[in-house]
Amino acid sequence: MFMSDIRVAGTGLTAFGNAPERTGRDLFAEASIAAFEDSGVPREDVDAVFYGNFMGELAEHQGHQGPLMAEAAGVDAPATRYEAACASSGVAVRDAVVRIRSGAADVVLVGGVERMTNLGTAGATEALAIAADELWEVRAGMTFPGAYALMAQAYFTEYGGEHEDLAHIAVKNHENALPNDNAQYQNAIEVSDVLEAPQVSSPLGLYDSCPISDGAAAVVLTSAAYAEAHGLEAPVAITGSGQGGDRFALHDRDYLARSPAAREAGEEAYADAGVDAGDVDVAEVHDCFTIAEVLAIEALGLEPVGKGITAARDGRTTAEGETPINLSGGLKAKGHPVGATGASQIAEITTLLAGTHPNSESVDDATIGVTHNAGGTVASAVVHVLEVVA
């Protein structure tokens, strides 16, 4: 374990869902208020604000959002916006960890926001597409459902599997979301619902895809020394952090059925924390599409390559399984306001390990959790290891 672990002093989330009338600053203010109330850290102690957002210029005609969101949070500190597509706030968390470890900060407010539903389905789809290669993918008509469908087809060709295997992932994550009041979809579905849903891009259908979402997440991170000096109740620490990358466009990749960026990020995070995949009790992974969960758990070493496709179907990653995945409901059912997702995963694992999450009873003995946040078709990936330390 790194000598100076980073304590998660407080977390705050808005509900994820359809809120086109709310602004990004309104959403971030709500999440930040909750995080500060949970932490007990005074705003004047914040040394920096690290903020993730992807499409603010398109959704709200608003750039330079870092200081804007610091103001919304009631914080007078330097603020920086991070953009890494759907991994934006995951990268922000990673840089906050680095900043605190370096000794340059003791307290960082880190989080993210996305406002998407006001664009409508067509507008949000077009905005999301700029995370792909404009010259060689977008102009050819590539969309992210199409890109992940190609990845699913490549997986089936190389390792086997079928749409019904993916359907079990969707069913599992909807089941996990039922008690989560922040989730966009709190409704159970059956395998037949997934298989009979309208097709989006073969083999993926409507229920294989995460929704368009509005929402915000915020976490207050502190040094261990600050937490101890101020008597904070912060039993969960970020002990490992890693980041990986891959070629931007799918046609330049060595693999379509694997996620090298996530593998690199996971290996770095595990080494940083002094753990390995076998130590992980619970994980929140980036399931923007059902096939993405398969690629993520294999990249993280939670399932052997080629075997993750049956993990949900066989019960290994369900709430009752050996390694529960996406107990929040994941992006699939909890929702995916892209700039907020990485920070929200930190909040979910923190509360799961601390015993305050509605699904904590599924992992009541858990001491180590992992978050996996991906950008685009996983050209960017960020992984964090969280541990109970007190």
Distance in angstroms (rounded) separating the CA atoms of residues 87 and 225? 29
Alpha-helical (H) ranges within the chain are 24-39, 56-60, 65-72, 88-102, 120-128, 144-159, 163-177, 191-196, 224-229, 260-273, 290-299, 330-334, 341-354
DSSP letter string over 290-354? HHHHHHHHHHTTSS-TTTGGGTTTTTTTSTTSSS-B-TT-HHHHH---GGGHHHHHHHHHHHHHH
DSSP letter string over 277-301? GGG--EEE---SBHHHHHHHHHHTT
Given phi > 0 = left and psi -120 to 50 = alpha, else beta, which region is 40?
left
- The token pair at 289 is 């599409």
Count of beta carbons in the 10 Å neighbourhood of residue 164: 13
Q: Which residues of 298-336 are buried (b: 16+ CB within 10 A; e: fewer)?
A: bbbbbbeebbbbbbbbeebbbbeeebbbbbbbbbbbbbb
Please tell me which residue in 286, 336, 372, 384 is annotated as part of the active site: 336
Nearest by Cα to 153 from 134, 166, 169, 171:
166
Using DSSP's 3-state secondary structure scheme, residue 167 falls into helix
Distance in angstroms (rounded) separating the CA atoms of residues 381 and 369? 17
Catalytic residue list contains 336: yes
Please tell me which residue in 86, 174, 210, 384 is annotated as part of the active site: 86
Q: Which residues of 260-275 are buried (b: 16+ CB within 10 A; e: fewer)?
A: bbbbbbbbbbbebbeb
Nearest by Cα to 288 from 51, 125, 64, 45:
125
- The token pair at 74 is 């009631």
Catalytic residue list contains 210: no
Count of beta carbons in the 10 Å neighbourhood of residue 134: 12
Please identify every residue annotated as catalytic.
86, 336
